[in-house]
Amino acid sequence: MADQPGKKQLLHLVFGGELKSLNSVEFRDLDALDIVGIYPDYKSAEAAWRAKAQQTVDNAHMRYFIVHLHRLLDPDSGGTRN
C-alpha cells in the first residue's frame, strides 16, 4: 500500500505461533514464531491475520495476533481503534 496523503500511518504487527496450552498465551517455541509482517493500517493487518489463521485452522494450538504498534510507539495518541 502506497502512502496516502492525509491518512495517518497506524502500524500493526501480525505474528503467531504454537501455544503451549489452549488456556494461555505462552508460545511453545519462541524461535519458531511466524512474523507475518507489519502493516500500515488495521484493515490490511486483519486481512493478513485472517489468511494465516485460515491456513493453520487444523492446528488448534496455532494462534495469530494483531499488535497495535502505533499504540506502543505513541501511547499518548488516545488509543484509536484503527
Closest CA to 20 of 54, 62, 53, 56: 62
Closest CA to 63 of 72, 51, 53, 71: 53
Q: What is the pLDDT of the chain when averaged over all its residues? A: 88
pLDDT band at 3; cut points 50, 70, 90? low
Which pLDDT does position 60 carry in this prediction?
A: 94
What does the H/E/C string look like for 65-79?
Answer: EEECHHHHHCHHHCC
Q: What is the mean pLDDT of residues 34-54?
A: 97
pLDDT band at 6; cut points 50, 70, 90? low
- What's the pTM? 0.80
Cα maximum dimension of the chain: 44
Given a cut of 70, whether residue 27 has pLDDT beyond it is: yes
